[in-house]
Amino acid sequence: MIKDIIENEDYKDLVSKQVKEVMDFLLLNDKEFSITGNFDAITFEPELPDVIKTQLPKYPLFILSNYTYSTIALNEEYITFEAGFGNENFGSIVKVPLQSVFQVILDESILFLNPVATVEKFNKNRKSNSMNVFKNNPNNKKFN
């Protein structure tokens, strides 16, 4: 089953290496690009204000160009960059684990797609919350 593959640690490591190699290639060739990533795994320093954070989708798009492109740092586990958010252009350093990079996009075309970014570990909070809502319904007590 696909779930057995995309949740396998060896496969996650393989995909992380592939994501890094693709981004290394683009950086080496001085190509600006974009990424989408699983929001649940992304961290911001400083933390984004709630008014901005709640506006971001599950897989936000980050356009890595101009100043943001010049701030990219890439290692074996993460890509980091500085970006501005909201009308105030609130500055934050974005840290995205490589295995949570869902897409690498070049010229509005998907260059790389990573199914590992959709694994359950990033969705635990959402899943447990919906399960609690389900269990709290008196009609569902028989499923406990």
What is the pTM assigned to this prediction? 0.80
Answer CATH for 2-119 from 1.10.1660.10, 1.10.3210.10, 3.40.50.970, 2.30.30.220: 2.30.30.220
Would you kindly state where each structural domain of the chain is located, as residue ranges? 2-119
pLDDT tens string, the chain, 144 residues long: the values are 788 888 889 999 999 999 999 999 999 999 999 999 999 999 999 999 999 999 999 999 999 999 999 999 999 999 999 999 998 999 999 999 999 999 999 999 999 999 999 886 654 443 334 444 444 444 445 545
Whether the Cβ atoms of residue 34 and residue 55 lie closer than 8 Å to each other:
no
Beta-bridge mates of residue 63? 34
H helix runs in 1-144, sequence order: 2-6, 9-28, 50-53, 66-70, 124-136
